[in-house]
């Protein structure tokens, strides 16, 4: 038993010493320690092999291991170290080889177990906090979505036995709910130093609620009265007011576009894959490629046809993402989102017929210019804000913002493309999938806390920084280093002098560590971003009406290169092992 206790302490110490895992909550660390199991490796055996796909993280208890990359020795590690922690975040290849230099005793946990712990602890904490809030009169009539948002900003604060949490006569703007322990309520007696005992409050009780409604003079003393100390959930008036005013109002500035979408879908209803004529290759990627095509007999307009290998989609388990992309893009009707008109499939490929954006990726323009000035960045950021306004008002989270996913149309306006990570959320709920480009991932995604549309506002701040400087603010030599830099926060990043004061202020308000504190997510919604000083004088109506002059006119891609193109007729190769049903049904 004593040995097991020693092992548990060593695992806990190793986790707290790890740059990434030390950011987890103590309750989560305790559960991780409980779920770890012992494994042994004899001297000379390989624990982790570079290039393998990993799902297990280890803590070393006994022995020594050697770390190498590309066959070159890097270092020797002794007990008390965490090995391979990136594998618990997502399905990725190992970046180094770790070999047992001596007989080794390790403790292990796999990604599924880790993520289950993170999700369960997050959801149970959220349920506990919202239950507390429902018992408070000023909260009880608020919608569930609002209570969840308030529960996200509650901060747990610890007080030692005998500490004054509130002192009578003092001014204060904070409200408290007791989450552990009990407190004593007393009031001062006139003409005597003695305090009169009023009552004792315990777990689930609350105090200081008048401070949220503007009455900031404390009328009693609240003293921690528990040998093991008292924990309270705390929220201040400013945070409360930011969240409370209109959280339950769903923004519906956009008209119902269903009629227009139905017209579009009707127009392409009878179109077949064989009716399309290739003009040029627009791009080649991991899943396939994108071709510029025209409909036979109609040379007045062109389209982009995205071609994806079914076998590769199945192999990488992307069926769900690809169906979600089809559904979301097939319903969307926004000038700042690439439109999807029709889908097809044959034995080997899935196809998406989309709006053609012949100005190419914004990333290419950024790479050629190095960085953009304030006005150019403002225009492209505003296009993304409009796209987010459209998506978020429909509870759709995008999750893959980066310059490569912003396409320029022939006029020079930006449109969002690639909705593989987009997801429609239930109202007021979170999602737990780890996804996104490392430099753009929000801290709550890295820490498996559950995330919602507020993760998109974080990535908007990162995009602004990259457009203004040419490089994202958070970059490391490998994904894990990048994640650890992200967890240190935006305030640890040095801003170049070329970024204006107002741009810096907006980026820092978008990249707040606490998702509930980000601009765009609070009571004014996304209009708070549009009203920020950095956008002073910007013509939002002109942007929506597409009457603004874009800052850069794109070089429209040549549409005559028909080289290196495969024809579409169905081939005779065997189909992949698992077909993707429902792909070519109507939207």
Active site residues: 400
Name the DSSP letter for residue 42: -
Alpha carbon separation from 36 to 8, 43, 111 (Å, rounded): 9, 22, 11
Q: Look up residue 271 and give its two tokens.
A: 């179109």
Q: Which of 424, 507, 500 is nearest to 458 (CA)?
A: 507
Q: Which of 334, 340, 436, 349 is nearest to 392 (CA)?
A: 334
Q: Look up residue 482 and give its two tokens.
A: 């990048």
Q: Look up residue 335 and give its two tokens.
A: 């000038």
β-sheet with 37-41: strand ranges across: 37-41, 104-110, 56-62, 82-83
Name the DSSP letter for residue 217: B
Pair 307, 294: CB distance under 8 Å:
no
The residues, ordered by sequence, that sit 6+ positions from 351 with a Cβ below 8 Å of its Cβ are 273, 305, 306, 307, 308, 343, 344, 345
Tell me how far apart the alpha carbons of residues 407 and 415 are, in angstroms, rounded to a whole number. 5
In this structure, which long-range contacts are made by residues 289-296, counting pairs with CB atoms below 8 Å and at least 24 apart in sequence?
A: 291/565, 292/356, 292/358, 292/557, 292/559, 293/353, 295/271
Pair 23, 487: CB distance under 8 Å:
yes
Rg of the chain (C-alpha set): 28
Can you tell me which residue has the tokens 């204006």?
500
Can you tell me which residue has the tokens 């740059």?
19
The most distant pair of C-alpha atoms in the chain lies apart, rounded to whole Å, by 98
Tell me how far apart the alpha carbons of residues 260 and 240 are, in angstroms, rounded to a whole number. 40
Locate all alpha helices (DSSP H) within 159-308, ordered by sequence.
237-244, 258-267
**Beta strand residue intervals within 50-194, DSSP E:** 53-54, 56-62, 65-69, 72-77, 82-83, 92-93, 97-100, 104-110, 155-159, 164-166, 174-180, 182-188
DSSP for 394-442 reads TTEE----SGGGEEE-TTS-EEE---TT-EEPPTT--B----S-GGG--
3-state helix, strand and coil shares in percent for the chain, rounded to the nearest 5: 35, 25, 40
């Amino acid at each position: 038993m004593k040995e097991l206790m020693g092992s548990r302490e060593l695992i806990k110490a190793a986790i707290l010493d790890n740059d990434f895992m030390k950011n987890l909550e103590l309750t989560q660390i305790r559960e991780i320690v409980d779920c770890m199991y012992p494994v042994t490796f004899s001297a000379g055996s390989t624990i982790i092999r570079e290039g393998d796909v990993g799902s297990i993280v280890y803590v070393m208890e006994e022995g020594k291991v050697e770390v190498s990359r590309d066959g070159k020795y890097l270092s020797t590690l002794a007990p008390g170290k965490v090995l391979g922690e990136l594998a618990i975040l997502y399905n990725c290849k190992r970046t180094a080889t770790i070999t047992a230099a001596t007989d080794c005793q390790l403790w292990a946990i796999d990604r599924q177990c880790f993520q289950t712990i993170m999700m369960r602890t997050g959801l149970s904490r959220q349920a506990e906090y919202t239950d507390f809030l429902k018992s408070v009169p000023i909260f009880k009539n608020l919608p569930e979505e609002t209570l969840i948002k308030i529960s996200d900003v509650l901060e747990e604060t610890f007080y030692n036995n005998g500490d004054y949490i509130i002192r009578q006569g003092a001014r204060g703007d904070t409200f408290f709910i007791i989450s552990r322990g009990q407190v004593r309520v007393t009031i001062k007696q006139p003409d005597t130093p003695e305090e009169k005992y009023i009552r004792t409050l315990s777990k689930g009780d609350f105090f200081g609620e008048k401070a949220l409604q503007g009455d900031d003079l404390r009328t009693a003393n609240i003293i921690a009265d528990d040998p093991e100390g008292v924990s309270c959930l705390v929220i201040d008036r400013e945070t409360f007011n930011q969240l409370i005013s209109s959280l339950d109002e769903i923004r519906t500035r956009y008209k119902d576009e269903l009629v227009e979408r139905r017209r579009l879908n009707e127009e392409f209803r009878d179109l077949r894959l064989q009716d399309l004529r290739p003009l040029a290759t627009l791009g080649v990627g991991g899943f396939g490629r994108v071709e510029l095509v025209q409909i036979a007999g109609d040379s007045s307009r062109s389209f982009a046809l995205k071609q994806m290998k079914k076998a590769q989609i199945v192999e990488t388990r992307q069926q769900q993402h690809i169906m979600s992309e089809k559904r979301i893009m097939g319903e969307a009707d926004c000038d700042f989102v690439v439109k999807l008109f029709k889908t097809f499939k044959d034995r080997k490929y899935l196809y998406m017929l989309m709006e053609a954006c012949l100005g190419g990726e914004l990333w290419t323009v950024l790479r050629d210019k190095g960085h953009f000035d304030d006005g150019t960045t403002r225009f492209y950021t505003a296009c993304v804000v409009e796209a987010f306004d459209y998506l978020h008002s429909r509870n759709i989270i995008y999750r893959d913002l980066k310059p490569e996913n912003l396409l320029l149309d022939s006029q020079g306006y930006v449109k969002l493309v690639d909705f593989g990570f987009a997801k429609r959320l239930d109202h007021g709920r979170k999602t737990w999938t780890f996804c996104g480009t490392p430099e753009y991932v929000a801290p709550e995604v890295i820490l498996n806390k559950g995330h919602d549309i507020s993760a998109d506002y974080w990535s908007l701040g990162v995009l602004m920084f990259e457009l203004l400087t040419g490089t994202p603010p958070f970059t490391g030599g490998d994904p894990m280093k990048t994640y650890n830099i992200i967890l240190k926060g935006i305030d640890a990043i040095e801003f170049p002098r070329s970024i204006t004061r107002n741009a810096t202020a907006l980026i820092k308000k978008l990249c707040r560590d606490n998702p509930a504190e980000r601009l765009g997510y609070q009571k004014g919604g996304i209009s708070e971003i549009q009203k920020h000083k950095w956008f002073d004088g910007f013509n939002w109506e002109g942007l929506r009406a597409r009457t603004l002059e874009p800052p850069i006119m794109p070089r429209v891609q040549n549409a005559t290169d028909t080289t290196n193109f495969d024809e579409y007729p169905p081939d005779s190769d065997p189909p992949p092992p698992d077909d993707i049903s429902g792909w070519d049904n109507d939207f």
